[in-house]
Structure 1
Amino acid sequence: MLAVSASFSAPQDRGLLAHHVAGTVERRYQTDANARPSEEADDVGQVVHRRPASMIPVSGENAGVPYGAFETTPLLSTPVPCVLKAASYTSSGARAAVRDEMKVLLRYSLPVFGTHLFEHSIMMATVISIGHISTVALAAATLGFMTANVTGLSILQGMANTLDTVLPPAWTSDQPKLVGLWTQRMTILVCVVLIPVLALWLHAEPLLLGLNQDPEIARLASIYLKWASLGLPAYAFNCVSRRYFQSQGLFTVPTRIILYLAPINIFLNYLLVWGPEPFCLGFIGAPIAASISYNFVAIAFVVYGAFFVPRTAWHPITLRAFTNLGYLAKLSIGGIGQLASSWWSWELVGLVASFLGPVPLATQSVLITTSSSFFQAPYALGIATSVRIGNLLGERDVERAKTVVRASFLLIIVLATLFSSVLITFRRSWGYLFNDDPEVVNLVAAVLPLVALVQIFDDAGAVVAGILRARGKQVLGATLNISAYYVIGLPIGLWLTFKRDFGLFGLWWGLNIAMAYASSIGLYICLTTDWDKEVEKVVARLAVDKGYQPVDEEHAH
């Protein structure tokens, strides 16, 4: 019934649900009986919609910006969406709406998954390249990579996640240029944070020696971090840029860019680590290759944003970028706590496993790799859910925001069931994908049922985190994770491992308990959210930004 364009955009997806809404659409435009229709094209030039040229405000600060977008109009062409009245659904209409939202979330999630997968390949290519030099070199690269994760990458990712709160609602509001303004503000904060992180990376050897690391491994790991620091600013910029595009529904832009550049990274790793003279640099060639790749990605983001998409979301660079930094910093601290508390706990579990012996350590490496690989899909779904809900809050569409919550949890149930079934079905042969040692393979098979159980809680937690980010509840998410992992899960896991002699099983029981606690409470919080108040918070945030006033959502209503 509705034509669907090739562009992935929120207004376009709005059309999928329009025929389910038992309400009317308010369209603010001036009618001209003699107006000629004008053609609207998507970002690849395909005409997807005709509308009267007069459907454009003739006065006010948004003069010249189309208000009354039809549902099939791409988001880039129509920055200001229509405003839906509070909708009610029949039972059959509600089920159809949930199904349609599931389709939207899947379409959003797939390119996000691809982006993270190919970005992960940049680091994996580095480790693989160094791994063929020597065991000591591999250990140093692994130590350097873990240090980078804990002291830098997790912090930057947590800060970038904060943009899921402010960018999507701004894009679907009547002030789409706030997307660019909030992006500039986050860039300023990231630059401030980069100063101590870079200082640590450039002087990491004393820290690693203080942690009783082997002197040679600590020396090489510090060299790894020094050369990797060349790409850290670009990595931070890329984290922010992805959110800038994703908030506009342009989920495929980061995927396309990194898809083209991932093979270049592989080539650079070969050339700089193993290539002919004078290109062969050995150990330092791998972090240099990664740094060059991240800088290439950053340049590609700038070029794409400047020349290949309309600048509807961009805000001129002014001193306004230095306003409301306190509010964004508060959200960022919560975002770091929400992501890093979980990220660091997995690193800590791996460290504890090293005290159990070589076989449990090797087994834990297999299990962590398996769990983190499977987690990429629900993590992508969490990002898609956050963006989708944020867009709907910007439209003040309470009913469909509720629908997205239900749809996201239905999808995660399917994903978790699928992943858990795969692990249970292939548990006896799974270890052979990573190792040929029978002891390791047997222990992997024995612990995999606990890993399969973890998938259910961990996957649900990814969606919960996305919903909390959409609401600006990063501090709540951080509190939930910290209490789950460090107050409940890890202490119980350590007690079971060392006091009850459960070994590796004890650690995974602790993780299960932690995630069951966090996901169950998070699920309750998400399902009992007052979305009318969330809309009020978004409206207040947008309104005060118009008046150059600091944001204080706690007292906004």
Structure 2
Amino acid sequence: MSFTYVHYSTPSSLPSDYALLSRYAAENGIEEEPITPENIEAVEPSMHPDNDLLSPNAIPIPGSQSHSRRRSSFPTSYVTPFNPTTSALPDKSGFRSGPHPPSANENTPLLAPLVPRIAEDVDKIDPDSERLVDLLWEEIRILAKYTLPVFGTHLLEYSLVIASVVSIGHLSTTALAASTLGSMTASVTGFSIIQGLASTLDTMLPSAWTSSQPQLVGLWSQRMAVVMLFALVPIILIWFSSESILLFLKQEPEVAHLAAIYLKYSVIGLPAYAFNSISRRYFQSQGLFTVPTRVILCVAPINALLNYVLVWGPEPIRLGFIGAPIATAISFNLISLASIIYGVYFVPRTSWHPLSRKCFTSLGVLVQLGLAGVGQTASEWWSWELVGLAASLLGPVALAGQSVLLVSASSTFQAPFALSVATSVRIGNLLGEENAKRAAYAAKGSVLMSVAIGLAWSAMFMVFRRSWAYIFNDDPSVVKLVASILPIVSLFQVFDGLGAVTGGILRAMGKQFTGALLNLSAYYIIGIPFGLWLAFKRDMSLHGLWIGLTVSLVYAATVGVWICLSTDWDREVQKVRERLESDKHAAMRQDIEAII
């Protein structure tokens, strides 16, 4: 991200801190020792999570004599341990689940930073003094407040894709099939991978925002942009080679050719799509949930107009089939541009880190968590595409019914998915504040909310099951088929939502690998093989495929809820503390090398 934010100074910068502490030491009669390569290793080793600043893996400092030696004149006894309050300004009502700082006196230095955070009045109350029911209800209200704008964001973004399908759908059946194939290929080979990588920021950003180093929000966003830049290269190569790949997969030549054209023009918006997946989390981690909603709300009507003009407009500017992917690509770029403008002129600069070579450090952490995130996110996307492919082998009625059911289930999924995003942010913020008890109740509240949302969708499908398919298709055989399967879809609404929310909780804790294993086992070991067996061996057709999906969702939701509700949240707080200290330690080493 290219915001021109100024550096937010925190105690992680050794030169500036040493200047302040030296001045303080001089005023208080503490003997000072000049900084040299021989004594600079005396920085407090306890700041490293392993209690060893110069561990075997650390970068050695030239000229150092003893890694265990401390500089006796460094006035560490005057540095008050960081202990953030839960309000924008420290006050007597501030609370943190960790140890409270000593009372301020005339010897207390003015070095404690004011920690920016998502201000929630209930966080000022000690959770030990509240009733458990009150804690749970407060977290549910906060999550509901966070979820609504996120839900709007996803619905509006979904409209960008729908507008493209609608505009092409009236050209010809072949054009619609090609756009569908191109869109499916883009999701499998590109969008799902980008979202999986970006899910790492659900772990990094919220806890960084409420920590002592809020500028890490900007730094981790920059690092993810670097990772995305490298990830886009193979995706673009695949999209430009898509025609030969689709022909190898036995797709019709004309459809494969048009789908490849669709993908080539979609590349125009691919970098912007990756940028938007980062910028959205950048804003949401700071509690600015409405910013992405406002941006897409402005772009959505422009996207609809572009689709009409470029596909069906006047002859001089009408492009036909290629107009739809171009319109969507332009819209993605407009979202990126609007996000940058909004970030530069309307968002406080507290979280931004100036562009530097630090954005090329710690990329291994992002890649490791990102690959696990791809396994968690993409495996679920791919499983639904695989079920759709299996449905195409069952005949046109089954395929039409599958399309109706898939669109319906995908639409209702947006609500629990928005809740999962809100849950990731809320729990991440609480972990950054070291408020383990409220993090536990936020997790419990999100699970209860997910059940309530799922029950509401289930009731809707059951009430309208006999007429639901008429929204999409008038064929009586398709309507009858959809009506017979909707009770199954109704059943798994609760478990689909629980799976989404527990996935968000796992991302907040940095357990993407656990989520990936859970999804892979649920879909590819249990659900899909069972569904294929029912569909083709037991002649249950489309019913069998959806029963298999339901089994996988029940398994994933049950195990996910058990993992999340049995979590040791004090341990999760400690993990966040260690990660932040590790990053702070790395920054200090770079500053030390710069001095030498």
Q: TM-score, normalised by structure 1?
A: 0.86
1:163 equivalent among 194, 201, 204 = 201
On the 8 A contact 2:139/2:442 being kept in 1, the answer is yes
2:147 equivalent among 109, 112, 125 = 109
Instruction: Deviation per CA, 1:459-486: give whole Å up to 9, x if none.
Output: 1000100000011000010000000100
How far apart, in 1, do the equivalents of 2:110 and 2:267 lie? 50
3-state DSSP of counterpart to 1:173:
coil
Aligned to 1:194: 232
On the 8 A contact 2:210/2:432 being kept in 1, the answer is yes
The answer as to 2:491 corresponding to 1:443 is no
On the 8 A contact 2:239/2:264 being kept in 1, the answer is yes
Aligned to 1:216: 254
How far apart, in 2, do the equivalents of 1:320 and 1:22 lie? 30
Instruction: Tell me by how many angstroms 1:66 deviates.
Output: 2.7
| 1:129 partner amino acid | S
Aligned to 1:373: 411
| 2:582 partner amino acid | V
For 1:256-271, list aligned pairs within 5 A.
Answer: 256-271=294-309
For 1:18-417, list aligned pairs within 5 A.
Answer: 26=100, 59-60=110-111, 65-66=113-114, 87-90=127-130, 93-417=131-455
Instruction: Tell me by how many angstroms 1:406 deviates.
Output: 1.1
On the 8 A contact 1:172/1:395 being kept in 2, the answer is yes
How far apart, in 2, do the equivalents of 1:23 and 1:338 lie? 31
Instruction: Deviation per CA, 1:18-60: give whole Å up to 9, x if none.
Output: 89x899995789689xxxxxxxxxxxxxxxxxxxxxxxx9644
3-state DSSP of counterpart to 2:353:
coil
Instruction: Tell me by how many angstroms 1:277 deviates.
Output: 2.8
3-state DSSP of counterpart to 1:472:
coil
3-state DSSP of counterpart to 2:315:
coil
On the 8 A contact 2:205/2:216 being kept in 1, the answer is yes
3-state DSSP of counterpart to 1:312:
helix
On the 8 A contact 1:447/1:505 being kept in 2, the answer is yes
| 2:339 partner amino acid | F
Say how many residue pairs are matched.
501
| 2:258 partner amino acid | L
Instruction: Tell me by how many angstroms 1:431 deviates.
Output: 0.9
Instruction: Tell me by how many angstroms 1:549 deviates.
Output: 7.4
1:528 equivalent among 566, 569, 573 = 566
Aligned to 2:468: 430
How far apart, in 1, do the equivalents of 2:532 and 2:117 lie? 57
Instruction: Tell me by how many angstroms 1:302 deviates.
Output: 0.7
Instruction: Tell me by how many angstroms 1:264 deviates.
Output: 0.4
How far apart, in 2, do the equivalents of 1:405 and 1:13 lie? 24
How far apart, in 1, do the equivalents of 2:291 and 2:96 lie? 34
3-state DSSP of counterpart to 1:547:
helix
Tell which deviates more after alignment, 382-391 or 93-102: 93-102
Which protein, 1 or 2, shows the higher relative CO under an 8 Å CA cutoff with sep ≥ 6?
A: 2
Instruction: Deviation per CA, 1:398-439: give whole Å up to 9, x if none.
Output: 110011011111111110110001101110111111111111
| 1:97 partner amino acid | L
3-state DSSP of counterpart to 1:317:
coil
- Residues 156 and 22 of structure 1, relative CA distance in 2, 3 Å threshold: closer
- Residues 394 and 70 of structure 1, relative CA distance in 2, 3 Å threshold: closer
- Residues 147 and 70 of structure 1, relative CA distance in 2, 3 Å threshold: closer
- Residues 248 and 450 of structure 1, relative CA distance in 2, 3 Å threshold: same
- Residues 233 and 537 of structure 1, relative CA distance in 2, 3 Å threshold: same
How far apart, in 2, do the equivalents of 1:523 and 1:541 lie? 25
- Residues 233 and 58 of structure 1, relative CA distance in 2, 3 Å threshold: farther
On the 8 A contact 1:423/1:452 being kept in 2, the answer is yes
- Residues 94 and 286 of structure 1, relative CA distance in 2, 3 Å threshold: same
- Residues 243 and 28 of structure 1, relative CA distance in 2, 3 Å threshold: farther
| 1:186 partner amino acid | M
| 1:66 partner amino acid | L
How far apart, in 1, do the equivalents of 2:116 and 2:168 lie? 56
| 2:153 partner amino acid | T
| 1:471 partner amino acid | M
| 2:399 partner amino acid | L
2:533 equivalent among 479, 495, 501 = 495
| 2:173 partner amino acid | T
How far apart, in 1, do the equivalents of 2:226 and 2:118 lie? 36
- Residues 25 and 426 of structure 1, relative CA distance in 2, 3 Å threshold: farther
How far apart, in 2, do the equivalents of 1:401 and 1:214 lie? 52
Instruction: Deviation per CA, 1:266-297: give whole Å up to 9, x if none.
Output: 11111111111321111111111111111010
On the 8 A contact 1:457/1:516 being kept in 2, the answer is yes
On the 8 A contact 1:29/1:68 being kept in 2, the answer is no
| 1:452 partner amino acid | S
The answer as to 2:509 corresponding to 1:471 is yes
| 2:498 partner amino acid | A
| 1:410 partner amino acid | L
How far apart, in 1, do the equivalents of 2:207 and 2:242 lie? 40
On the 8 A contact 2:88/2:116 being kept in 1, the answer is no
Q: Which runs of 5+ in 1 are unaligned?
A: 1-9, 33-56, 75-80, 551-557
How far apart, in 2, do the equivalents of 1:223 and 1:68 lie? 47
On the 8 A contact 1:14/1:71 being kept in 2, the answer is no
How far apart, in 2, do the equivalents of 1:163 and 1:350 lie? 30
On the 8 A contact 1:22/1:89 being kept in 2, the answer is no
Aligned to 1:6: none
Q: TM-score, normalised by structure 2?
A: 0.80
- Residues 422 and 14 of structure 1, relative CA distance in 2, 3 Å threshold: farther
How far apart, in 2, do the equivalents of 1:392 and 1:23 lie? 10
3-state DSSP of counterpart to 1:464:
helix
How far apart, in 2, do the equivalents of 1:190 and 1:22 lie? 35
Q: Which runs of 5+ in 2 are unaligned?
A: 1-84, 589-596
| 1:305 partner amino acid | G
On the 8 A contact 1:28/1:68 being kept in 2, the answer is no
How far apart, in 2, do the equivalents of 1:513 and 1:168 lie? 33
How far apart, in 1, do the equivalents of 2:444 and 2:522 lie? 24
How far apart, in 2, do the equivalents of 1:166 and 1:117 lie? 25
Aligned to 1:537: 575
- Residues 167 and 70 of structure 1, relative CA distance in 2, 3 Å threshold: closer
Report the RMSD for the aligned CA atoms in angstroms: 2.6
How far apart, in 1, do the equivalents of 2:403 and 2:502 lie? 27
The 4+ residue runs of structure 1 with deviation greater than 3 A are: 10-15, 21-32, 57-60, 67-74
Instruction: Tell me by how many angstroms 1:456 deviates.
Output: 1.3
